[in-house]
C-alpha cells in the first residue's frame, strides 16, 4: 500500500543565544546541553545566531555540539568562531558610527563600539564593566570616539534604567534611515549596518546549506529575532519571549531560566521521527 503524505520536517535549527539557550544570568542549563547532544545524534543541524561576537560564542560551541558557521553581531559576521574565518563581515561606515556614538552619549546612554573581538568605550562605569564581563571580549577604554580605530561590526547602546531606555526611540528616529536598529533586550539597543539583520543572515545560511525555509526551525525571544522566526517553517520560542513572538510560534517552551529550549528541541526531534516514520509507511 502506498500513502500520499505531504509533510515537512525540520532539517536545520537556527537559534538565538541569550535568554533563549542561556538563562537571564547567562548560564547554560545541563538539560539544554543534553538536548543539543540529542539534536546532533538525530542529525538536526544547528547554527547559532547571536548579537554576540565570535569570541563570545566560543565557550558554548563544544557544550552545544555546534561546529561550522555561526551568525554573530546580529548578522554582521557569518563564519566559524573557532578559526576566525568569515564569509561575511559587515561594518558600519566610520563617520556614521561616530555620529551615532556621539549622539547616544549626549543623551546619557552608555555606548559600546564592537570591532571583531574588541569592545571600545569612552565611559568607565559599572554598566560598561558589567556588559563586557558578560560576553568576555577585550575592553579598551579611550578618551574620545575619534581614538577608536577602524569601523565597528555593531554599536550597542545600554541603559539599565527606564529613563535611559526612553532615549532609545530618539536614537531610532535619528538613524533608522541609515542603520539597522533593534532591541535584543529592554536594556539593549543593537545598531548594525543598514540591511544587516539575523533574518538576512539566516537566509544566507539556509541557501548555503541547501535547506528550504519551510524545512528550517528558528528559536529566539526578542525583537532582533522576530523576522528570522517569521521566515521559517518551524518558529519556536520560550515563555519569556515577546508576546508578538509567542503569538505565532508553533511551540512555546518554558522560560529560558528553566532550560525551556530543551523541550522545543525535543519537539522538533519528535517531528523528525514522525516524518521519517510516515515516509517509511508511504513507501511500504
Predicted local confidence at residue 127, as pLDDT? 86
Report residue 2 as a C-alpha cell: 502506498
pLDDT range class, residue 276, cuts 50, 70, 90 = low
pLDDT range class, residue 25, cuts 50, 70, 90 = very high
Asked if 12-89+197-282 and 94-193 have one fold, the answer is: no
Return the bridge partners of 15, or none: 48, 219
Which carries the bigger pLDDT value, residue 202 or residue 129?
Answer: 202
CA 128 to chain centre: 21
On the question of pLDDT at 154 being above 80, the answer is yes
User: Given 3.30.1240.10, 3.30.70.1150, 3.40.30.10, 3.40.50.1110, which CATH number is that of 94-193?
Assistant: 3.30.1240.10
**Average pLDDT of the segment spanning 208-231:** 97
**Average pLDDT of the segment spanning 94-98:** 98
Domain definitions of the chain by residue range: 12-89+197-282, 94-193
What whole-number distance in Å separates Cα of residue 245 and Cα of residue 119? 30
Predicted local confidence at residue 162, as pLDDT? 87
Give percent of the chain with pLDDT exceeding 70. Answer: 94
> Which CATH number describes the domain made up of 12-89+197-282?
3.40.50.1000
Q: What are phi and psi of 45, to 5 degrees?
A: -70, 135
Closest CA to 66 of 86, 80, 77, 84: 80
What is the pTM for the complete model shown? 0.91
pLDDT range class, residue 18, cuts 50, 70, 90 = very high
Amino acid at each position: 500500500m502506498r500513502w500520499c503524505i505531504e509533510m515537512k520536517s525540520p532539517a536545520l535549527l537556527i537559534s538565538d543565544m541569550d535568554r533563549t539557550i542561556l538563562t537571564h544570568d547567562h548560564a547554560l542549563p545541563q538539560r539544554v546541553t543534553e538536548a543539543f547532544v540529542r539534536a546532533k545524534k538525530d542529525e538536526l543541524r544547528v547554527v547559532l545566531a547571536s548579537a554576540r561576537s565570535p569570541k563570545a560564542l566560543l565557550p558554548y560551541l563544544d557544550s552545544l555540539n555546534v561546529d561550522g558557521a555561526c551568525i554573530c553581531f546580529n548578522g554582521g559576521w557569518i563564519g566559524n568562531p573557532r578559526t576566525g574565518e568569515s564569509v561575511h563581515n559587515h561594518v558600519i561606515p566610520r563617520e556614521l558610527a561616530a555620529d551615532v556614538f556621539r549622539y547616544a552619549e549626549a543623551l546619557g546612554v552608555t555606548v559600546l563600539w564592537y570591532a571583531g573581538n574588541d569592545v571600545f568605550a569612552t565611559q568607565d562605569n559599572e554598566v560598561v564593566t558589567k556588559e563586557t564581563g558578560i560576553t568576555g571580549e577585550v575592553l579598551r577604554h579611550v578618551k574620545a570616539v575619534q581614538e577608536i580605530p577602524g569601523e565597528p561590526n555593531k554599536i550597542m547602546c545600554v541603559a539599565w534604567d527606564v529613563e535611559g531606555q526612553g532615549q532609545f526611540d530618539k536614537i531610532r528616529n535619528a538613524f533608522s534611515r541609515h542603520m539597522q536598529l533593534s532591541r535584543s533586550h529592554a536594556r539593549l539597543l543593537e545598531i548594525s549596518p543598514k540591511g544587516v539583520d539575523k533574518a538576512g543572515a539566516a537566509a544566507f545560511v539556509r541557501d548555503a546549506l541547501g535547506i528550504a525555509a519551510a524545512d528550517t526551525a528558528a528559536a529566539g525571544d526578542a525583537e532582533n529575532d522576530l523576522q528570522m522566526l517569521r521566515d521559517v517553517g518551524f518558529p519556536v520560542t520560550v515563555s519569556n519571549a515577546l508576546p508578538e513572538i509567542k503569538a505565532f510560534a508553533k511551540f512555546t517552551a518554558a522560560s529560558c531560566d528553566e532550560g525551556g529550549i530543551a523541550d522545543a528541541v525535543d519537539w522538533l526531534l519528535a517531528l523528525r521521527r514522525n516524518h521519517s516514520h510516515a515516509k517509511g509507511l508511504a513507501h511500504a
